[in-house]
Chain A
Amino acid sequence: MTTIDLINKLAVEHNITTGRAEMIVSILVERLVEKLKKDGEVKITNFGTFSIRRKEPVSSSYMKLNEPIPMVKNHVTFFPDKIFLDHINSH
């Protein structure tokens, strides 16, 4: 399933144009990312929790200076809600 399928589905179910549905989805994603950036964690009921996990800095070198520069890289993780998991595992 892709975003287009989701948009089409929303448009059909709620009797709105695909453009509007696309806008709604984009607003949701944008807001979610903003919140994640701001708080470091976003919890969505019955769906799951997005959180940022910090990785250990990896030393690197820049250009010809041979100076070790720690490169920090964060990672976004998702922990699905129990309802989500139950729904997937149900037959």
Chain B
Amino acid sequence: MKTTVAGKPAAHPASSTKKSAARPGGKIHPVVIYPFRQPGDYADLGPLYQWVASLGAQGKKYARPITVMDRKTFFANEGDKRFLDFRHSSVAHHSKILDRWCVDTCQMWYTGLGAALEQGAEGDVYWLIPGDFNYGTPVGQEILGRLHDLPEICLELEQDFCVGEITTDHRNSKQLIDTYGTFALLYNWFPAEAREIRQYTERPRSEFFALGHRFLREALLRRWYPYEQTVVLLLHAVSARLRISRFSVGNISDLPEGRESLAAVVQQVERTEGVLQSLWRERHQSGPGWIEHYRALGIQSEQVRRTALILLQTLLA
């Protein structure tokens, strides 16, 4: 293969020799995370499961889709005939339902991806599909039309991790949380990795992603954090110099949505800080003098978090 620019050194020589587990010909395993709170109508879930049915119909390309449903969701709606009908005629008809008790959404990911991995093989790709998105709207339809690109990129281009990014305008609360909260905290705890992650994505907490068999297996066998697992996966992938891609799956910059309560914003920033703190400690606790460094980063982290929350409170007021 010819070089791209004569004489230019490879930026990531290690990644050039590391071949991904994903390969053309592998199977794609869709894992749908059913919304924790049942929506009032089926305007979004209906189109989602029509689309899931179309995946299931392509048996050579896709494994039977999996839907993870929290038992709390089931018991909160067990007297609702429309829910039971939809569950029976759409969800169970077009996918295999995993009914599980889960402490949070990330445990639903863990359950679904873990079950899919056990059915998969080397070379396969696993594809997370969040159910709580407005798939019935024009934006949602656009996203459904592009989501298949994520696992296909992993397969065709032998990528380990492909993160889907929804483009938003700079006032969208998720974007603001990532800019002032997530990235600020990432730069504090993992500065080198944060710089690398930012070269790929502005949305490191995206719930749209696909990943290869080997990387998923490795990630599942490590400690799985209950929150912000996409950030953790990106950190693992960057540290191991795996092949990461980013793909835009849609644009919601023109829609008047994305406003979250201050309490929800505080919770998201605090969760991110907690996960990064735990992950840093886990990676460094065997080294000498780690506790002093940990304390110093913790003091800085508190300052970063407080500043982020002041900024977010002002910007989202």
Q: Are A and B a genuine interacting pair, yes or no? A: no
